[in-house]
A and B are shown apart, each in its own frame.
Chain A
């Protein structure tokens, strides 16, 4: 009896603690959604409450009249191309690291790992100068090119770890069946590695979608800004128009939220694969 009570109390305590963190995790997201639907007066009156009279027209106002669809498209193109190119380059390199034994393998792998740690802060100035001298500042290409480099090492590392776990016999069987290297990659490694590839794709997309530092410097023209930069640009002009800023935030977050709900497993696998392995 006492034991059972104790167990019950400890379960309640634990779940209570966990629920506090559920609230902490969700509240800012909730706040963002409700703020986008409230008037200024209502916001100041009670920040917690749901809106009385939801101002849905903020959305068409922002997306169409203020031209926010541009930023959405920019972000989709930006994150999409970065993700695709990163994955293509990662797959090629990871295949080489995982399948071949060649002179310089260790050294090159260390070089790749170094790239894993380097941040945009370390490369900002030369990258800016490079883009400037190539006339790529404020161009889509200039936005995409350096961004790929930031996630490339992670992609190579993740895919190498995964490809190494493909049984050696499977690779040998495919080579005996007549695969060239490219066929082995395309017809065996990639299909077998699909779960890892989708995890990588999701993570890479998220990072790029949310990235701010390089786009802030490279895309200063409004037509080119992805959402992250665009929101800050917008906020600079309408700081106190909270519901409009919140609306832009929701617009930026909803695609990620949908992606997250649809691909949770891939998301979590991508994050933990790099760390625990």
Chain B
């Protein structure tokens, strides 16, 4: 590394990017923080005054916000149980297998599909009148299970999560596959010689050695589950009856439709705080290796 003490070089190279991030990332976050302490009598005039923690107090008693946050948390759980686990299983099945590149390419295809498109197409699949899912249930003789998947408060959240999972397991599989391929195959041979069967070597070798990758995927999933927006906005808009309401959509609605700027700012601040907290885990990890 070039010792640049007293030289401007590196700063000149960094200046454009850092300035850019300053204007469009750091400043907005600071501004958001500031806005969250303001309030106004009329949402239209834009005359704001300092209200202290008033917005945050309001968040504490806002039932809809609590539900939305709960849905975000449920989304974290579902996303770890479904796409992450599926991705792991697929990667384990693929590693070292002939044709893995083909499978990986196919599994990754949904990742390239825009979330809004996934939401639209899956909206048709879930459609009560011509939906493929209900028709499939008919074909295999389970027509009793047919229902308006996105229209029922009981199934909507899980159904909408499936859309997200569909666009995510291929991503997980690819990352796990890369992680698995970086494990030295000789370790498995050594374990075989020591008498481990394939389940034992999965538990005692693969999982521990895959831990950093697993950590990354989980943290990444949590962060993603906090900030996602597109699928819900397109598929359900938070409905029916707020059963799929999430913080980002609720906040968007407050800001764009109701003009509740400062309250929305406080809400996005809570989300940002959660995300940054989770990010610390990642950053500490990266810096240790950097």
A residues sitting closer than 8 Å to B (CB atoms) are 14, 17-18, 21-22, 24-29, 31-32, 35, 43-44, 47-48, 89-90, 92-93, 95-97, 99-103, 105-106, 108-130, 145-146, 148-149, 152-153, 156-157, 168, 171, 175, 181, 185, 206, 209-210, 212-213, 217, 228, 231-232, 235, 242, 245-246, 249, 252-253, 256-257, 260, 264, 267-268, 271-272, 275-277
Contacts and interface: CB of A to CB of B under 8 A. Distances in A.
B125 A28 contact: yes
Contacts of B217: 275
Contacts of B116: 210, 212, 228, 231-232
Given A106-B287, A113-B287, 14 more contacts: A21-B169, A32-B117, A93-B13, A93-B14, A110-B283, A112-B17, A113-B279, A114-B283, A116-B279, A117-B279, A123-B24, A212-B116, A256-B112, A264-B105
A14 B93 contact: yes
28 contacts: A18-B103, A21-B86, A25-B106, A28-B113, A28-B166, A29-B113, A89-B17, A96-B10, A99-B1, A99-B2, A99-B10, A102-B5, A102-B11, A109-B287, A111-B18, A116-B282, A118-B275, A119-B227, A122-B268, A122-B275, A124-B251, A124-B268, A125-B35, A130-B23, A157-B286, A217-B256, A232-B116, A249-B121
Given A101-B3, A264-B105, A24 B166 contact: yes
- Interface SS of chain A: helix
A228 B115 CA distance: 9
A52 to B, nearest CB: 16
B106 A26 contact: yes
Nearest to A171: B2
Interface string B237-263: 000000000011001100110000100
A95 B112 contact: no
A253 B117 contact: yes
A125 B17 contact: no
Interface centre among A21, A209, A260 (most CB of B within 10 A): A21
Contact of A149 (B20, B125, B265): B20
B67 to A, nearest CB: 18
Given A117-B223, A122-B28, A146-B24, A260 B120 contact: no
Contacts of A217: 256
B65 interface: no
A23 B114 CA distance: 19
B89 to A, nearest CB: 8
B264 interface: yes
What interface size band does chain B fall in?
A: 35 or more
B261 A125 contact: yes
B229 A213 contact: yes
A218 B256 CA distance: 11
Interface in B107-131: 107-118, 120-122, 124-125, 129-131
Interface stretch (B55-63, B146-154, B172-180, B189-197): B172-180
A110 B103 contact: no
A18 B92 CA distance: 11
B75 interface: no
B53 interface: no
Nearest to B169: A21
B185 interface: no
A210 B115 contact: yes
A93 B109 contact: no
Contacts of A111: 18, 21, 26
B110 A271 contact: no
Interface centre among B5, B114, B247 (most CB of A within 10 A): B114
The 5 closest A-B pairs by CB, nearest first: A149-B24, A210-B114, A119-B227, A117-B279, A126-B28
Contacts of B9: 96, 100, 181
A118 B129 CA distance: 40
Contacts of A145: 24
Contact of B229 (A105, A106, A110, A121): A121
Contacts of B51: none
Contact of A231 (B117, B178, B264): B117
A25 B107 contact: yes
B158 interface: no
A189 to B, nearest CB: 11
Interface in B7-65: 7, 9-11, 13-14, 16-18, 20-21, 23-29, 31-32, 35
B187 interface: no
Contacts of B104: 268
B1 A17 contact: no
B21 A149 contact: yes
Given A124-B252, A252-B117, A93 B213 contact: no
